[in-house]
Amino acid sequence: MIKTLLYGCAFGLILFSCKSSVQLPAPDMTKAESNVATKITALMQEVESDPGSADKWGLLAMNLDIHDFKAEGIHCYKKAAALDPAAFRWPYYLGLALAATGDESAHDALKQAQKINPGYAPLNYRLGMSNLALGNNKEAQDNFQQAAQSSNPNIKAFSLWGESQVFLAEDKVKSAIKLLEQAKKLQPYIREVHAQLATLYRQNGQLELAEAETIQLDMLPERLPIEDNYTALLEQQGESSYWHSIRGRRFLDAGNYDAALDAFQTERAIKKSADVYNSLGMTYQYREQHRQAAAHFRQAIEMAPDYAEAFNNLGISLFSMNRLQAAIDTLNQALKLKPTYSDPYLNLGTFQVINGKTGEARKVFKTGLEKADYDIRIGARLAWLMSTATQSKHRDGRTAMALAEKVCRKTGYQTVSYIDIYAAACAEARHFKKAVALAQQALELGKRGADPGTLRQIQNRLDLFKKKKPFRDRSLL
So where are the chain's domains?
1-116, 118-237, 240-329
Among candidate residues 232, 158, 169, 168, the one with its CA nearest the CA of residue 193: 158
Q: Which fold, 118-237?
A: 1.25.40
pLDDT at 122: 98
pLDDT for res 11: 31
**Identical fold between 118-237 and 240-329:** yes
**What is the spatial distance between Cα 376 and Cα 378, in angstroms, rounded to a whole number?**
5
- In angstroms, rounded to a whole number, what is the distance separating the alpha carbons of residues 130 and 103? 11
CATH top class, domain 240-329: mainly alpha
In angstroms, the CA 418 to CA 404 distance is 7
- Alpha-carbon gap, residue 444 to 416, rounded angstroms: 9
For 1-116, the fitting CATH number among 1.20.200.10, 1.10.260.40, 1.25.40.10, 1.10.3720.10 is 1.25.40.10
Structure pTM?
A: 0.83
- The string of pLDDT tens digits covering residues 258-307 is 999 999 999 999 999 999 999 999 999 999 999 999 999 999 999 999 99
Classify residue 357 as exposed, middle or buried by CB count within 10 Å of its CB (0-12, 13-18, 19+): middle
CA distance 157 to 179: 9
DSSP assignment letter at 393:
G
pLDDT of residue 21: 62
Cα–Cα dist 248/232, whole Å: 14
B/e letters for 131-162, b = 16+ CB within 10 Å, e = fewer, are bbeeebeebbbbbbbbbbebebebbbbbbbbb
For residue 81, give every residue at least 6 positions away whose Cβ sits within 8 Å of its Cβ, in sequence order, or none.
54, 87, 90, 91, 94, 112
Q: What is the pLDDT of residue 4?
A: 32
Query: Is the sign of the CA dihedral 95, 99, 103, 105 positive or negative?
Result: positive
Ranges under pLDDT 70 in the chain: 1-21
